Amino acid sequence: MTGAPVGAYTEADRERWCAEAPKSKARTPFERDRARIVHSAALRRLGAKTQVLGPATDDFVRTRLTHTLEVAQVGRELGKALGCDPDVVDTACLSHDLGHPPFGHNGERALEEVARGIGGFEGNAQTLRLLTRLEPKVVDPRTGRAAGLNLTRASLDASVKYPWGTADAPIRPDGSPSGKFGVYADDLEVFAWLRQGAPAGRRCLEAEVMDLADDVSYSVHDVEDAVVGGRLDLEVLDDPGARDRVVLAAGPWFGGQLEDAELLAAMDRLRHGEGWVRGHDGSRRALAALKDMTSQLIGRFCGAAIGATRERYGHGPLTRYGARLVVPRETLAEILVLKSLAVAYVMAPREAEPLYRRQREVIVDLVRVVADGAPRTLEPTFAADWARAADDDARLRVVVDQVASLTDVSAAEWHARLVRGPQR
- What's the DSSP call for residue 47? G
Q: What whole-number distance in Å separates Cα of residue 315 and Cα of residue 335?
A: 26
Q: What whole-number distance in Å separates Cα of residue 2 and Cα of residue 331?
A: 29
Binning pLDDT at 50, 70 and 90, where does residue 289 land?
very high
State whether 294 and 214 are in the same domain: yes
Region of poorest pLDDT, from 147-161, 269-283, 294-308: 269-283
State whether 226 and 116 are in the same domain: no
What pLDDT is recorded for position 349?
A: 67
User: Is the pLDDT confidence value at 58 over 50?
Assistant: no
Q: Within a domain: residue 321?
A: yes
β-pair partners for 152: 16
Q: What is the mean pLDDT of residues 84-107?
A: 95
What pLDDT is recorded for position 6?
A: 47
State whether 145 and 224 are in the same domain: no
**The last residue of a domain, from among 194, 216, 245:** 194
Q: What whole-number distance in Å separates Cα of residue 211 and Cα of residue 213?
A: 5
- Domain holding 59, by residue range, is 13-194
Region of poorest pLDDT, from 31-35, 49-53, 233-237, 396-400: 49-53
State whether 83 and 173 are in the same domain: yes
**The last residue of a domain, from among 171, 194, 217:** 194
pLDDT tens for 99-137 read 999 998 889 999 999 999 999 999 999 999 999 999 999
Q: Which of 359, 336, 356, 360 is nearest to 348 (CA)?
A: 356
Mean of the per-residue pLDDT values of the chain: 91
What pLDDT is recorded for position 137?
A: 95
CB 129 within 8 A of CB 190: no
Number of domains in the chain: 2
Q: Within a domain: residue 71?
A: yes
Query: Measured at the alpha carbon of residue 88, what is the angle toward residues 295 and 296, in degrees to the nearest 5?
Result: 10
The type of residue at 178 is: S
What pLDDT is recorded for position 348?
A: 73
Q: What whole-number distance in Å separates Cα of residue 308 and Cα of residue 314?
A: 10
Q: What whole-number distance in Å separates Cα of residue 395 and Cα of residue 378?
A: 11
Q: What is the mean pLDDT of residues 189-205?
A: 96
User: Is the pLDDT confidence value at 25 over 90?
Assistant: no
Q: Within a domain: residue 384?
A: no
Using a pLDDT cut of 90, give the percent of the chain over it. Answer: 77
What pLDDT is recorded for position 5?
A: 44
What pLDDT is recorded for position 12?
A: 96
Binning pLDDT at 50, 70 and 90, where does residue 1 land?
very low
State whether 178 and 43 are in the same domain: yes
Number of helices and strands in the chain (H, E): 19, 0
User: Is the pLDDT confidence value at 56 over 80?
Assistant: no
What pLDDT is recorded for position 24?
A: 75
Q: Within a domain: residue 417?
A: no
State whether 152 and 227 are in the same domain: no
Q: Within a domain: residue 374?
A: no
User: Is the pLDDT confidence value at 179 over 90?
Assistant: no
Q: What is the mean pLDDT of residues 7-16?
A: 90
Q: What whole-number distance in Å separates Cα of residue 55 and Cα of residue 46?
A: 10
DSSP 290-333: HHHHHHHHHHHHHHHHHHHHHHHH-SS---TTS------HHHHH
Binning pLDDT at 50, 70 and 90, where does residue 332 land?
very high
CB-CB neighbours of 149 under 10 Å: 29
Q: Within a domain: residue 387?
A: no
Q: Which of 50, 54, 47, 37 is nearest to 108 (CA)?
A: 50
Q: What whole-number distance in Å separates Cα of residue 138 and Cα of residue 17?
A: 10
User: Is the pLDDT confidence value at 375 over 70?
Assistant: yes
- What's the DSSP call for residue 5? P
Q: What is the mean pLDDT of residues 290-311?
A: 97
**The last residue of a domain, from among 350, 378, 403:** 350
CATH of the domain at 93: 1.10.3210.10
β-pair partners for 63: 50
Q: What is the mean pLDDT of residues 351-366?
A: 88
Q: What is the mean pLDDT of residues 30-35?
A: 97
| Helix then strand then coil, % of the chain, to nearest 5 | 60, 0, 35
What pLDDT is recorded for position 3?
A: 41
Q: What whole-number distance in Å separates Cα of residue 378 and Cα of residue 383?
A: 5
Q: Max CA-CA distance within the chain?
A: 70
Q: What whole-number distance in Å separates Cα of residue 361 and Cα of residue 103?
A: 11
Q: Within a domain: residue 299?
A: yes
Q: What whole-number distance in Å separates Cα of residue 96 and Cα of residue 70?
A: 12
What pLDDT is recorded for position 61?
A: 57
pLDDT tens for 393-402 read 999 999 999 9
Q: Within a domain: residue 395?
A: no
Region of poorest pLDDT, from 142-146, 176-180, 210-214: 176-180
State whether 149 and 259 are in the same domain: no
What pLDDT is recorded for position 4?
A: 44
User: Is the pLDDT confidence value at 7 over 80?
Assistant: no
CB 90 within 8 A of CB 38: no
Binning pLDDT at 50, 70 and 90, where does residue 422 land?
low
Q: Which of 298, 307, 99, 98 is nearest to 217 (CA)?
A: 298
Total-model pTM = 0.92
State whether 155 and 295 are in the same domain: no
What pLDDT is recorded for position 142?
A: 87
Q: Which of 409, 412, 416 is nearest to 55 (CA)?
A: 409
State whether 187 and 217 are in the same domain: no
State whether 111 and 25 are in the same domain: yes
Angle between helices 392-405 and 380-388 (to 10 degrees): 160
State whether 141 and 105 are in the same domain: yes
User: Is the pLDDT confidence value at 168 over 90?
Assistant: no
State whether 178 and 285 are in the same domain: no
DSSP 114-179: HTGGGT---HHHHHHHIIIIISSS-B-TTT--B-TT--BHHHHHHT-SS-S-GGGPPBPTTS-B--
